[in-house]
Structure 1
Amino acid sequence: MTMTILLVEKEESNARLITKIIADHYPLATIECLKTNQAVKMWLNTAVLPDLVLCEVELQDGLIFEVFQEFNPVFPVIFMSAYDKYWSQSMVFNGIDYLRKPIGEEEVNRVLDKYESLNVHFLKRFSAENNSKNTKNVFHKDRLIAKKGTNYYVVLTSEIAFIYTEARMVFLIDRKGERYTVERSLSELEIELPSREFFRVNRKFIVHINAILSFKPSFKGKIALELLHLAKAEVSISQENAAQFKKWIEE
């Protein structure tokens, strides 16, 4: 399953920046870019509802609120504006955040992290409720289908070292150092892999506990990991996730 993300932005430079950040964050996502209220209306009338919308409030043909009054959004929305005055109104239309322009890469990454945290939270709640009715955990996989070249392989989760994204692709590295591609997003894999063995250390890496060779404090409260087959590279855990990581690794 892939995501559909709608970006509504009238400024070409902003659209290019945000599109690149979204693509890095969600390599498998389909990103639709629109510039006007009329285009948004037509899209919502004919397309599948998006998983997430990032939209400028003030467009060339009016405020985005005019569209959302007609099409009450049932999807999360991140609003963007050069002014504070639209903040309270945006929260009425499923707003999960409000970005003040000019917008930088750090802010876009922050709101995408927020969306992902909310998404994972509700998926885990659903998983927990489902598992309470069925003793067999349908989400936690013990194997994945991975691809190398034109061939597909079954990889046991116990043989995975880590999974990461790069250049809009999702790669799996096994304990032998073999690299495969996986046709799933990290958000989906985070839910489906056994949480006692795997940890989402940042937006680009999910690691198996047995692949962690060592870790140490790093800049601004972060934690730097040394991983199997990445001995000379450090994968960092944010300050926000550091406490959760320490609790997980001691369980």
Structure 2
Amino acid sequence: MTILVVEKTEDSFQFIAKILADSYPMATLVHCQSIQETLAWLATNSGADLGFFEIELSDGLSFEVFQEMSLTFPVVFMSSYDKYWSQAMPFNAIDYLRRPIEKTELERVLDKYQVFSKHFNQYDASQDYRNPYKNIPAKDRLIAKKGTNYYVIKTNEIAFIYTEARVVFLVDKQGERYITEKNLGELEIELPGRQFFRANRKFIVSIDAIKSFKPSFKGKIALELMHLSRAEVSISQENAAQFRKWIEE
């Protein structure tokens, strides 16, 4: 197994490398510190099984690597800012980690990769990796918790799912709120794509829960959802076209 770590500082690489070595002691770790170094390594190697990409490098944004080359391995992006999240998603991203990165978050991502790695191998790598989970059957129910009790919630009864203070909440169409132990990245993969849309880093919404939407500041789209009394949910300018296509299908 080869893991590519694109990270501009040696200290940050050593932090990541130690955790990777604990989980994958037999893996080969490759450290690149810039866009040019990464492109040079990829040009002479067959690629990696998993990549960790710091977004802001000394010679630009690591997205340039994906614009220059067609890569087929899953990638975890890392940044001190939320603003790159929507740009990262089309580039083989299985997760997006905010700095400072905690050990538990990195271990969670490795667990997530391990769960889905068997699915990566079920179809030819030449397929379009922009939709790496299309062969994974969508779930028709989720397990969620309220108090000490667990409940089976049918996906067609879910209005939206959101995260707050590292807790993921599920709200059904009756307005009842539950807690789910899965993160939004995992749920985005498991939920039927025709019914649900990842609006931003904090919300996954059901098409049935959208009461209205309207243009917003700087090309964004503002959603009004059922059972949501606070501020509207915002879709970024980068995701606006995808949202319009999704909702009109």
**Band of TM-score, shorter chain:** 0.5 to 0.7
Change over 3 Å in CA distance of 1:9–1:179 after alignment to 2: farther
- Determine which structure has more spread, i.e. the larger CA radius of gyration: 1
For residue 112 of structure 1, report the CA deviation from its aligned partner: 5.1
Aligned residue pairs: how many? 197
Q: Deviations over 1:131-172 (max 9, x none)?
A: xxxxxxx62111110011111001111111100111111110
For residue 215 of structure 1, report the CA deviation from its aligned partner: 0.5
Aligned residues: CA RMSD: 4.4
SS of 2:50's partner is coil
Bigger Cα displacement from structure 2, 165-174 vs 190-199: 190-199
Higher percent of residues as helix? 1
Higher relative contact order (CA 8 A, sep 6+): 1
In 2, are the aligned partners of 1:124 and 1:191 still within 8 Å (CA)? no
For residue 114 of structure 1, report the CA deviation from its aligned partner: 5.3
SS of 1:206's partner is strand
Q: Does 1:127 align with 2:103?
A: no
Change over 3 Å in CA distance of 1:56–1:178 after alignment to 2: farther
TM (normalized to structure 1)?
A: 0.60
> Which amino acid in the other structure matches residue 163 of structure 2?
T
Query: Which residue of structure 2 lines up, in the alignment, with residue 208 of structure 1?
Result: 206
- Give the alignment of 1:159-198 within 5 angstroms: 159-198=157-196
- Give the alignment of 1:44-55 within 5 angstroms: 44-48=20-24
Give the gaps of 5 or more residues in structure 1: 1-5, 11-33, 64-71, 129-137
Bigger Cα displacement from structure 2, 75-84 vs 211-220: 75-84
Q: Does 1:35 align with 2:41?
A: no
Match of 1:118 among 75, 90, 93: 93
Change over 3 Å in CA distance of 1:233–1:242 after alignment to 2: same
For residue 95 of structure 1, report the CA deviation from its aligned partner: 11
Change over 3 Å in CA distance of 1:237–1:107 after alignment to 2: closer
Give the gaps of 5 or more residues in structure 2: 38-46, 96-127
Query: Which residue of structure 2 lines up, in the alignment, with residue 26 of structure 1?
Result: none
TM (normalized to structure 2)?
A: 0.61
Distance in 2 (alpha carbons) for counterparts of 1:248 and 1:241: 10
In 1, are the aligned partners of 2:86 and 2:239 still within 8 Å (CA)? no
